[in-house]
Structure 1
Amino acid sequence: MPPKRHLTARRVRLGAELRKLREAMGMKSKEAAELLGADSVQMSQIESGVAGVSAQRVRRLAAHYACTDDGLIEALVSMATDRTRGWWEEYRGVLPPVFSDTAEVEHHATALREIVITHVPGLLQTADYARAVYTYMMPGLPGSELIPRVEHRMRRRSVIEGDDPTPYETIIHEFALRVRVADRQVAQAQLREVMERIEAGHATVRVIPTAQDGFAGADASMMHACGPVAQLDTVLRDFPTGTAFIDAEPQLKQLRTLFRKVEKASLTPAASRDFIHRLAKEL
Structure 2
Amino acid sequence: MAPKTVPPTARQRRLGRELRRLREQTDMTATEAGAFLGASQGRMSNIETGRYAVSADRVRTLAHHYRCTDQGLIEALAGMTGGRTRGWWEEYREVLPHQMLDIAELEYHAAGFRIAANFYVPGLLQTAQYARAVFAAYVPSFPPHEVEHRVSHRLKRQAVLYGEKPTPLTAILHEAALHMEVGGPAVMYEQLEYLIEMSERGDVTLLLTPFGAGALPNSGQPFDYLEGAVTQLDTVLLDTDHGSEIIDAEAKLATYRAIWDRMASGALGPESSRRSIRRIAQGLKERT
Q: TM-score, normalised by structure 1?
A: 0.94
Contact 1:217-1:262 within 8 A present in 2 as well = no
Q: Which residue of 2 aligns with 1:240?
A: 241
- Tell me the SS of whatever aligns to 2:79: helix
Cα distance in 2 for residues equivalent to 1:142 and 1:266: 38
Contact 2:227-2:233 within 8 A present in 1 as well = yes
Contact 1:15-1:48 within 8 A present in 2 as well = yes
- Tell me the SS of whatever aligns to 1:80: coil
Contact 2:9-2:84 within 8 A present in 1 as well = no
Q: CA deviation at 1:83?
A: 6.4
Q: Which residue of 1 aligns with 2:26?
A: 25
- Tell me the SS of whatever aligns to 2:182: coil
Q: Which residue of 2 aligns with 1:52?
A: 53
Q: CA deviation at 1:198?
A: 1.2
- Alignment length (residue pairs): 280
Deviation per residue, 1:63-83 (Å, 9 max, x gap): 111001100111111111376
Q: Structure 2 vs 1, CA of residues 251 and 217 (structure 1 numbering), >3 Å: closer, same or farther?
A: closer
- Tell me the SS of whatever aligns to 2:94: coil
Contact 1:214-1:265 within 8 A present in 2 as well = no
Q: Which residue of 2 aligns with 1:268?
A: 269
Deviation per residue, 1:203-231 (Å, 9 max, x gap): 21000011224644552311111011110
Q: Which residue of 2 aligns with 1:281?
A: 282
Q: Which residue of 2 aligns with 1:80?
A: 81
Contact 1:161-1:202 within 8 A present in 2 as well = no
Q: Structure 2 vs 1, CA of residues 222 and 118 (structure 1 numbering), >3 Å: closer, same or farther?
A: same
Equivalent runs, 1:86-235 vs 2, <5 Å: 86-213=87-214, 215-235=216-236
Q: CA deviation at 1:260?
A: 0.2
Cα distance in 2 for residues equivalent to 1:167 and 1:115: 15
Cα distance in 2 for residues equivalent to 1:195 and 1:218: 28
AA aligned to 2:29 is K
Deviation per residue, 1:223-274 (Å, 9 max, x gap): 1110111101111112333211111111111110110001001000111001
Deviation per residue, 1:106-135 (Å, 9 max, x gap): 111111110001100101111111111111
Mark the runs of 5 or more structure 2 residues left unpaired by the alignment: none
Q: CA deviation at 1:138?
A: 3.7
Contact 2:225-2:235 within 8 A present in 1 as well = yes
Cα distance in 2 for residues equivalent to 1:240 and 1:185: 27
Segment drifting more, 197-206 vs 26-35: 197-206
Q: Which residue of 1 aligns with 2:63?
A: 62
Q: Structure 1 vs Structure 2: percent identity of aligned residues?
A: 45
Cα distance in 1 for residues equivalent to 2:153 and 2:71: 36
**Where has structure 1 moved over 3 Å in runs of 4 or more?**
81-84, 213-218
AA aligned to 1:74 is E
Contact 2:12-2:83 within 8 A present in 1 as well = no
Q: CA deviation at 1:163?
A: 2.3
